[in-house]
């Protein structure tokens, strides 16, 4: 009993064949899991179930058995030898929907049936299901599926598009590539909304900044959830400025790293005192850099860039592993050891 067959019932306005479904239990008398899965699929496909019935039916079956009910033997070629009960065979059901899809194309000139298509809501749901099965098949080609290669080809012949729009991941990567190109030409990532170098890129940049502000204010929207720490860091590493404050921080850090380099050359270590006469604000900047470096190392949102972190590690302000604090502790321990050594040396001289 294939899931698609179970699903088919929901799509017919009359439900006399529901009784054939219960016979599905008999097909797996000794297998309570399969029987339960079939029952789960039936419950999900019962009349009056939600619009996304195919999804829940298939998922119920997959969840219970780890495979689609009916399994791979759905596509046996000896089907014709079996009595075809209306609505119970995948192929019959598929052919009917395919006919409806052809009619839709004749009328509208394309196969993009809307999800909620008033004239034939079942067709809209079915089309969604074919795309979902196709995506699942692409993710795990070895798994049994109710969408056979033959049916994929039939749909392609009609002009059906399985992937009507790029995935969010693809869109993100495409925008990132455009931004990198823009930066190599202009030297910065501040694309204006009316810039036509890459149509829509300026609006996307504004949109990303808006989502970032929502995150900073703790007001996460559905879209800002997609702007995760990894994506924020990808943009930061390209030199993308989310806020003016950040641009100022970058300037402070670049100058701070330069001043720290000079300090290390002079003093042989990176432990800047709170008040350093030659550069009174350096201590504060160093503390801020350590805080931001620790955030970056712990995978949190940070105003520090990857190349800056590398320089700070190189200068010995931050340790390679773990946090800046760890490096500070090491520096303190080294200073304490040096002080202790000096003291014992003095004592040994005193004792002479």
Domain ranges across the chain: 3-158, 168-237, 244-350
Query: Tokens 């399985």 belong to which residue?
Result: 162
Tell which phi-psi region holds residue 64, choosing left (phi > 0), alpha (psi between -120 and 50) or beta: alpha
Q: What's the mean pLDDT when you consider all of the chain?
A: 74
Mean pLDDT of 10-31: 45
Whether the predicted pLDDT of 58 surpasses 60? no
Whether the predicted pLDDT of 302 surpasses 90? no
Output b/e per residue, 155-174; b: 16+ Cβ within 10 A.
Answer: beeeebebeeeeeeeeebee
Q: How far is CA 247 from the centre of its chain?
A: 27
Q: The whole model's pTM is what?
A: 0.36
Tell me: the pLDDT tens digits for 175-216?
Answer: 999 999 999 998 888 898 888 888 889 999 999 998 888 887
Give yes or no for a contact between 183 and 175, defined as CB atoms under 8 angstroms apart. no
Mean pLDDT of 304-325: 82
Tell me: the pLDDT tens digits for 131-141?
Answer: 999 988 888 88
Structure-model confidence comparison of residues 199 and 321, the more confident one = 199
Range from 27-36, 61-70, 193-202, 299-308 carrying the lowest mean pLDDT: 61-70
Q: Which two tokens stand for residue 159?
A: 């002009």
Cα(3)–Cα(43) distance, integer angstroms: 12
């Amino acid at each position: 009993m294939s899931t698609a067959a179970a699903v088919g019932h929901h799509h017919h306005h009359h439900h006399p064949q529901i009784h054939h479904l219960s016979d599905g239990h008999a097909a797996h008398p000794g297998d309570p899991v399969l029987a339960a899965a079939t029952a789960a699929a039936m419950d999900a496909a019962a009349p009056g179930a939600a619009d996304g019935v195919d999804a829940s039916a298939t998922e119920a079956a997959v969840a219970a058995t780890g495979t689609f009910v009916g399994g791979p033997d759905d596509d046996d070629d000896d089907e014709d030898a079996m009595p075809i009960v209306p609505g119970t065979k995948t192929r019959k059901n598929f052919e009917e929907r395919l006919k409806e899809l052809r009619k839709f194309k004749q009328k509208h000139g394309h196969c993009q049936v809307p999800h909620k298509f008033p004239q034939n809501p079942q067709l809209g749901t079915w089309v969604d299901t074919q795309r979902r099965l196709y995506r699942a098949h692409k993710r795990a080609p070895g798994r049994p599926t109710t969408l056979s290669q033959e049916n994929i080809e039939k749909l392609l012949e009609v002009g059906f598009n399985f992937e009507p729009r790029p995935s969010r991941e693809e869109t993100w990567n495409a925008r990132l590539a455009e931004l990198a190109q823009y930066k190599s030409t202009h030297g910065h990532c501040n694309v204006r909304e009316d810039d036509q170098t890459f149509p829509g890129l300026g609006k996307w940049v504004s949109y990303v900044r808006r989502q970032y502000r929502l995150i900073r204010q703790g007001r996460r929207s559905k879209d800002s959830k997609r702007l995760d720490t990894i994506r924020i860091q990808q943009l930061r590493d390209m030199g993308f400025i989310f806020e003016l404050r950040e641009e100022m921080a970058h300037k402070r850090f670049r100058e701070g790293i330069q001043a720290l380099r000079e300090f290390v050359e002079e003093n042989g270590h990176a432990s800047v005192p709170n008040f350093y006469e030659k550069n009174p604000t350096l201590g504060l900047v160093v503390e801020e850099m350590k805080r931001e470096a620790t955030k970056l190392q712990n995978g949190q949102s940070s105003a520090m860039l990857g190349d800056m972190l590398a320089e700070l590690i190189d200068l010995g302000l931050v340790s390679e592993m773990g946090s800046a604090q760890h490096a500070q502790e090491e520096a303190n321990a080294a200073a304490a050891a040096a002080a202790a050594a000096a003291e014992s040396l003095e004592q040994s001289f005193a004792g002479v």
